[in-house]
Chain A
Amino acid sequence: MGITVKNLSFTYYGSEKKVLDEINLTIEDGDFIGVVGPTGSGKTTFLYCLNGLIPNSIKGKFFGEVWVDGVLTTKCKVSDLAKKVGIVFQDPDWQLFSLTVKDEVAFGLKNLKMDRVEERVKEALKTVGLEGFEDIEPYRLSQGQKQMLCIACIIAMQPKTILLDEPTSNLDYKNTKNIYSLLRRLNKEGKTIVVVEHDTDLLAEYANKILVIADGKIVKNGLKEEVFSDHELLEKLGIKIPRGWF
């Protein structure tokens, strides 16, 4: 059923400026969408609307509707939506807090009272290549491994959609490629991926659709071939034209 966004507008509490303005969009199951746009254009806010953090946890003036698999986000708790939409934030250091890697992955499963916790933890760690690290303290992992662990925490809960907010901004090239290869694999297994990313080269390689947000509005949405061919728009917004698309 995917995600449907209808006339979505949002203004943060205490602010007058609309961060999102009349957004309409459909995300189909199995999409791999890259979200690009200038800094402060509303990309992260848009992600927070897709998993119900806005308006359930972050307050402000919210208008419109976001439907996730037929469920209206305003009528559902964030914890219930966690089973459908998972999110990986930019900085892994401030998402990890447990004493061991396996406890970290099990945390969400236990909160959501899911069954086969041990098995799911094992599977998730295997998927991200962290088997053998079960009893390690998360802070001992490298930055790339920490981000992989954050993804494991989400995929263990088996949501249909995974949102990622600049997941590779602190990572080197090798770890960045590892993360994107994993995302491609998850996408091929049927997960919907929505990733906010400034590196258009990566999106040109891995995503199939691109969403361009500027000043809280969707200014372009379509297949990557279509969006990345619009050089005039990309240049106007200061978005890098990916290599091979000149």
Chain B
Amino acid sequence: MNPKIKLFIVVAVSTLTLALGWNPLYITPIFFLVLLSIFLFKVYKKLLGWLKFLVTVGLLIILIQTFTYSGFGFSFEGLTYGMTFSLRFLTLILLVFVFVHTTPTRRLVEAFSFLPYPLSFMLMLSLSLLPKIEDLAKTIVNAQKARGLNFKTLNIFKVYPPILIPLLSKTLEKSQQLALALQTRGFE
């Protein structure tokens, strides 16, 4: 499918999801349609890694809204609001997920080719950096595992700094090199 048409569908469905009031019954069919598209396009395997995170966030939204919507304590309005909010959030995330995972990078950039050159160039640059940052992260995670870092611990202050600090510093260092490379090839 033409990536521009795909992008149009994503924008249209997103707008519809945001415009449909606060009744979860209106958003539920759209949510299931998006869910169905995940199976139709066979990208469900890629979603598995994110499933736990998405379900947790979705449930947290419902829980927080249910008990804090009108002061502390249970409220039916809060539950309705939380469910709508959660469904909206999941619909939008899954929609973008399907779009990104069914469109090769090259076509993804084509979809945004209507943007002014500096913007589409920045988008292309960012997309091209993602796999490199992912590789870097994997290397750092493996290095820290080899040095005995326990990823099963729940103490995020113990797990994240040894990964995020080198990842950030290395990404900044490499980004600076990329900036220099761009300049030496005439980019201003």
Contacts and interface: CB of A to CB of B under 8 A. Distances in A.
Interface of A: 48, 51, 53, 57-58, 77-79, 82, 86-87, 89, 91, 93-100, 107-108, 111-112, 137, 139, 153-154, 157
Given A57-B183, A111-B186, A91 B106 contact: no
A111 B185 CA distance: 7
A99 B105 contact: yes
Interface string B114-136: 00000000001100110110000
Interface of B: 105-106, 109, 124-125, 128-129, 131-132, 174-175, 177-181, 183-188
Given A89-B181, A100-B106, A137-B106, A82 B132 contact: no
Q: Is the interface of B mostly helix, strand, loop or mixed?
A: helix
A45 to B, nearest CB: 12
B186 A112 contact: yes
A221 B109 CA distance: 49
A100 B109 CA distance: 12
Contacts of A154: 185
Given A100-B106, A137-B106, A95 B181 contact: yes
B177 A91 contact: yes
A97 B183 contact: no
The 3 A-B residue pairs with the shortest CB-CB distance, nearest first, are A111-B186, A108-B185, A97-B128
Contacts of B105: 99, 137
Nearest to B135: A93
B175 to A, nearest CB: 8
Nearest to B126: A97
B115 to A, nearest CB: 15
26 contacts: A53-B183, A57-B180, A57-B183, A77-B188, A79-B183, A82-B184, A87-B181, A87-B184, A89-B177, A94-B132, A94-B174, A94-B175, A94-B177, A94-B178, A94-B181, A95-B178, A96-B128, A97-B124, A97-B128, A99-B128, A100-B106, A108-B185, A111-B188, A112-B186, A139-B131, A157-B186
